Chains A and B, each alone.
Chain A
Amino acid sequence: MEQDLSRNNVFLRFFANYAPGRFKYWRENSSLVFKSGLKKVIASLAFLTVGVGLGAVVWIFSIWWLGAVIVALSLMAGIINIISFHSFCYYNAWELGRGNAGVNELEAIARTRFSVLEQTRAAASDRRTERRRRSGRHPNRIRESVLDKALNIANIVILAAGMLLICFPLLNYFSLAFNNGNRNLDVILFPADFSLKPMEYVLVTSGAAEFWRSFGNSVVYTALVTIFQNLFTALAAYPLSKKDFPFRGAVLMFFIFTMLFGAGIMPIYLLVKSLGLLNTLWSIILTGMFNAGNMLYYKTFFEGIPSDVEEAAILDGANDLQLFFYIVVPMSLPIIGTCCFFTLVGCWNGYGGAMIYIDQSEQGKAVSPLAYYIYLMIAQNSQADTITDPWVSANIDNIEAAAMLASIIPILCVYPFVVKYIRGGLQLGSVKG
């Protein structure tokens, strides 16, 4: 057990060494063990000092937040280093006390295990040999032609330019959010005059009520649509994935026809109006309850599930509902994850529906989702000079940037958790499509 923990988890590796019974050995052997890794402690302290010093210099003389980051990082690295070393010594004292290892061995282990420099050096030399082996000093290897090399370089240059084109506006604009009354020109990549005031304005003080209201609207809208749209869509796709479902072609056509032909926005608008849903959140929630395009993806995926599994479950006495929720859904997580994420991003970022069903009155603003709120904010700011507060009118760009940054954070938080599923789902799409 201890072995497993120490192998897999860094934190447990530290703390598993502090087993209660080992304190006796530590008291006896601490000086001996400690001496074996003294160099390591010194290196660690030196690293800490240099890092903190460098950070402090940067902090005082130029950009304070960069200095703070350097200080924090070096402190963290130094402290983790020392803790890990101490816990290792604690463990070694135990080993030594039981006679399992000699001092020299411990010294060697400590050196290889804890010297960051040596480890990186070893890894680099490994990589070098590997590269040398791969690039082939072999006499029969096929040389890369000059053209290929040039293409390679051009490739890297173009991709780097593309990355720059993506990253530069993002950094430039979002660092506006941490500025005090600066315009875009003053800011190149980092905040010029660092200030949390615009963020505070949007999230805490004057703008907060509207921001969090529309944030809440967006959360409700996105959650309800993502859950129920995918539930209803998958539920509808499941029977249609059965080859012998009655009137399968007709039912399929019934759903697909809605993607091919729509009556335009006027009749739907009038319908929503006569249902009394205009200027409510329900208008955009209910109109998004089903997606025929996603149904096709679900159907294609369900068709690929081997029927043996379902037959086995039926033999075990599962009914259709159990079959769907306990067998089919767990097997279709890639497609469910992909479709849910698409729906989620679409709802969070989309405001086309809101533009149709929700107007710009006070009642409409109370139910507007976040993207629509930002749209209204920007459309109004660019047209009217109705702002009375001088600080707000000086910081209007910064406030807009802060609101935008705050609105994309939830999506960026969800993305890492679903990226695994998406890659699977897309690969699926590419194989099937």
Chain B
Amino acid sequence: MKEYLQTGETAAGGASAPSEEARTRKRPEGRSFWRTEMRRVVKHRRLIVFLVPAAFFTILFSYIPMLGIVFAFKETINLNQGDILWNVTHGGWTFNNFLDIFYENEEFFPAVANTLIINVIRLAICFPLSILVAVQLSELKSQNAAKVILIILSIPNFLSWVIVIGIWSGVLHPDYGVLGRFTGFIMGQNQWFKPLVVFLSAWKGAGWGCILYYSAIVAIDKTYYESATLEGANRLQKIWYLTIPSILPTIALTLVLNIAGMMAVGFEQIYTMMKINPGELLLSQQVLDTYIYDVSITHGEDIPFATALGVFNGIIGLTLMLTGNYITSKTLKRGLW
């Protein structure tokens, strides 16, 4: 899901319009569903083979782990005693693992709160920033210069998170950093942690995010602008009444994708930012992804609880995605997939 969202930000695709699809897929009159489908199976019998590798890996790494949801309902799983199947068939069943997420757990609610806070701030800053940069680039007189600037702005996107964080923790080092000497921003400080998370997201992603909008703006018919100029519109009016409405579908789709991915904050970024700072792990800055990682991998003893946490997170994600899809298909007449 995370991968989908990442690419979804950059190249938001989607299925073709549903009405057209329904028309072409309509089966001939007077034939039963199964009969038509069986004929199609025979017709496309060779194409079915094409699906085999994808289906194999999907089943292996997506559907078989889904069977693991049963772990969340076990009282204990001890891999020292026996293998997983033995553990599933022995021992009692319970729903307490899900209740444990909420009760007697000081980490879960701060983690959810941090996730939401970071995502809301990010949505409020990074999301308009890409659009702003794209509009600015399109307003430049020399479009060749705009393309060069675009390439330069998108360089940080090709750096891995650990490099981005390494660069900035060097620049912001309180003793040796070029900027850190003069500003108070230090990654290890609690009060600057969230602003820096958002800032680094913007630094890394804004240039790349604006490529999508920029190519949408470039595709707008230039004659609209000429006629607007003749009508006496100034630059701001042209942007507000012409550019923005033209790219509104793209904006809406990206917005909904962002909202659907509200529960994922970019695990690599935040975990690395926590790890890279000398001192404590900034427990108060834990987000949901890093919390799940810590419970599952770093500690890893309580398998039922970790599974329950993962399943709970998955359900929230599913709900958000379905809501997002509902909103887009109602407003834009086009689903997320």
Contacts and interface: CB of A to CB of B under 8 A. Distances in A.
Given A148-B234, A342-B10, A351-B160, A271 B171 contact: no
Contacts of B271: 355
A77 B334 CA distance: 57
A342 B216 CA distance: 20
A290 B51 CA distance: 11
Given A184-B176, A411-B158, A173 B25 contact: no
A169 B168 contact: yes
A430 interface: yes
Interface string A270-281: 110010000000
A116 interface: no
B114 interface: no
B178 A184 contact: yes
Given A265-B310, A271-B68, A433-B14, A142 B215 contact: no
A375 interface: yes
Nearest to B14: A433
B262 interface: no
Contact of B212 (A254, A339, A379, A430): A430
A44 interface: no
B153 A256 contact: no
Shortest Cβ-Cβ A-B pairs, 9 listed: A264-B310, A267-B68, A429-B11, A293-B4, A349-B160, A433-B12, A236-B54, A183-B176, A246-B40
A379 B71 CA distance: 32
A351 B229 contact: no
B310 to A, nearest CB: 2
Interface in A235-294: 235-236, 238-240, 242-248, 251-252, 254-256, 258-271, 274, 286-287, 289-294
Given A264-B296, A290-B61, 7 more contacts: A254-B55, A259-B1, A260-B322, A290-B54, A320-B46, A382-B277, A411-B158
Given A263-B68, A290-B58, A397-B170, A185 B181 contact: yes
A184 B62 CA distance: 45
B50 interface: yes
Contacts of A243: 21, 24-25
Interface centre among B139, B162, B306, B317 (most CB of A within 10 A): B162
A363 interface: no
B40 A244 contact: yes
Interface stretch (A5-13, A33-41, A103-111, A157-165): A157-165
20 contacts: A173-B166, A173-B167, A231-B53, A236-B51, A236-B54, A244-B40, A247-B37, A261-B1, A265-B310, A266-B306, A270-B71, A286-B57, A286-B61, A289-B53, A355-B271, A371-B162, A423-B215, A427-B215, A430-B12, A430-B212
Interface of A: 142, 145, 147-148, 151-152, 155-156, 158-159, 162-163, 165-167, 169-170, 172-173, 176, 183-185, 187-188, 231-233, 235-236, 238-240, 242-248, 251-252, 254-256, 258-271, 274, 286-287, 289-297, 299-300, 303, 319-321, 324, 338-339, 342, 345-346, 348-352, 355-356, 371, 374-375, 378-379, 382-383, 397, 400-401, 404, 407-408, 411-412, 415, 419, 423, 425-433
Given A184-B178, A265-B292, A251 B51 contact: yes
B171 A425 contact: no
Given A238-B50, A290-B54, A263 B37 contact: no
B105 interface: no
B293 interface: yes
Contacts of A407: 160, 163
Contacts of B133: 159, 162
Contacts of B11: 297, 338, 425-426, 428-430, 433
Contacts of A258: 58, 62-63
Given A271-B61, A423-B215, A263 B155 contact: no
A345 B158 contact: yes
A185 B277 contact: no
A190 to B, nearest CB: 13
| Most chain B beta-carbon neighbours within 10 Å: one of A152, A293, A383 | A293
A172 B13 CA distance: 38
A248 B25 contact: yes
Interface in B115-156: 133, 136-137, 139-141, 149, 151-153, 155-156
A274 B293 CA distance: 19
A350 B157 CA distance: 12
A371 B160 contact: yes
B244 to A, nearest CB: 15
Counting chain A CB atoms within 10 Å of each CB, the highest count among B5, B43, B141, B307 belongs to B307
